[in-house]
């Protein structure tokens, strides 16, 4: 579960559209962009050169000295896959008839195809680093660091190198926004939502509406936002000096703003705590 995981993938797709020699043929989690058949042979359903973006395994771990209790939205690491392929028409033998038929797939690579793939990979990395690409700016704002980059060649069972590469980026990404916690106009996730809403792609606008509905309206209760963020029980919240009064069964106690402490001898101290 990660809203930022989704945002990282969408921002990468949009940042690469029109920014490389494949044009707009940039795919989001396309099933079988580079796949394997029953004989473990690589195949593709694409009919022209493509880039496909995927998110793979992710994990979140509290490091030594990390604060927080049961924070389920903490920063995490995940793997972002960028698959690139030079699809082409090929004559293959139909096993049922023995005849040659034309199919689209990944051909064996050669000098020119390898240059094409290397150029495409460089263009993809350049697009994600482009300061004038607004979607890339969103992507960079959510990626705290790039821990590792692996480039893998696609090979057939016989070891022949095919016209496809896989770039695997290991990323540390920002924490998820929490429902009810205001993002603010400068927050990168708010920028992401606004970009989705302004997108000409209908599915992007639909996703934005669903995400807005999940995050909900801003919660004015600072103690409530703290409890969401840290995963605190009601007793833990009160032990830290936050939250509703112990006898408030409906949890409607307003957040503390101003209080007076009697020090004796007629002395008093007034304290003020502004909400987050």
Predicted confidence (pLDDT) per residue in 213-233, tens digit: 988 877 666 677 677 777 777
The first and second tokens of residue 44, run together, are 């593709």
The first and second tokens of residue 32, run together, are 């079988």
Backbone φ and ψ for 125, nearest 5 degrees, come out as -65, -35
Whether the Cβ atoms of residue 54 and residue 5 lie closer than 8 Å to each other: no
| Residue 146 pLDDT | 93
Angle value at C-alpha 126, between 21 and 50, nearest 5 degrees: 35
To the nearest 10°, the Cα dihedral for 60, 63, 69, 71? -20
Burial, 6: exposed, middle or buried (Cβ in 10 Å; 0-12, 13-18, 19+)?
middle
Task: Please state whether the predicted TM-score (pTM) of the whole model is above 0.85.
Answer: no
Number of C-beta neighbours around residue 73 at 10 A: 21
Residue with tokens 């995400």: 211
Evaluate if residue 66 carries a pLDDT over 80: no
d(CA 202, CA 119): 31
Higher pLDDT, 184 or 30: 184
The first and second tokens of residue 145, run together, are 């660091």
Q: 3-60+72-176: what fold?
A: Alpha-Beta Plaits (3.30.70)
Evaluate if residue 239 carries a pLDDT over 80: no
Evaluate if residue 276 carries a pLDDT over 80: no
Residue 143: pLDDT band with limits 50, 70, 90: very high
| Residue 250 pLDDT | 67
Angle value at C-alpha 274, between 271 and 276, nearest 5 degrees: 145
d(CA 8, CA 2): 10
The SS3 call for residue 267 is strand
| Residue 142 pLDDT | 95
The first and second tokens of residue 3, run together, are 């809203």
| Residue 191 pLDDT | 96
Largest interatomic CA distance in the chain: 104
Evaluate if residue 100 carries a pLDDT over 50: no
The first and second tokens of residue 198, run together, are 């302004």
| Residue 245 pLDDT | 62
Mean pLDDT, the chain, whole residue set: 75
pLDDT digits (tens, 9 = 90+) for 182-192: 787 889 999 99
Higher pLDDT, 242 or 93: 242
Evaluate if residue 5 carries a pLDDT over 70: yes
d(CA 127, CA 139): 11
d(CA 180, CA 213): 10
Residue 74: pLDDT band with limits 50, 70, 90: low
């Amino acid at each position: 579960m990660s809203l930022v995981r989704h945002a990282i993938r969408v921002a990468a797709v949009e940042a690469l559209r029109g920014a490389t020699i494949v044009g707009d043929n940039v795919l989001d989690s396309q099933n079988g962009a580079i796949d394997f058949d029953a004989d473990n042979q690589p195949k593709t359903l694409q009919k022209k050169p493509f880039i496909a973006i995927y998110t793979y395994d992710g994990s979140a771990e509290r490091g030594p000295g990390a604060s927080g209790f049961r924070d389920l939205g903490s920063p995490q690491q995940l793997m972002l896959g960028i698959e690139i392929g030079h699809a082409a028409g090929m004559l293959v033998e139909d096993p049922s008839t023995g005849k040659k038929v034309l199919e689209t797939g990944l051909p064996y690579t050669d000098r020119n195809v390898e240059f094409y793939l290397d150029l495409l990979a460089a263009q993809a990395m350049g697009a994600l680093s482009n300061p004038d690409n607004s979607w890339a700016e969103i992507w960079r704002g959510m990626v705290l660091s790039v821990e590792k980059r692996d480039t893998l060649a696609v090979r057939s069972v016989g070891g022949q190198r095919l016209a496809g590469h896989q770039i695997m980026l290991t990323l540390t990404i920002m924490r998820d926004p929490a429902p009810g916690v205001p993002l603010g106009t400068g927050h990168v996730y708010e920028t992401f939502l606004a970009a989705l809403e302004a997108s000409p792609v209908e599915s992007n606008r639909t996703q934005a509406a669903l995400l807005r509905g999940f995050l909900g309206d801003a919660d004015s209760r600072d103690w409530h936002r703290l409890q969401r963020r840290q995963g605190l029980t009601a007793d833990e919240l009160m032990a830290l000096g936050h939250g509703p009064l112990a006898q408030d069964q409906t949890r409607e106690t307003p957040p503390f703003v101003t209080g007076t402490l009697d020090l004796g001898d007629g002395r008093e101290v007034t304290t003020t705590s502004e909400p987050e």
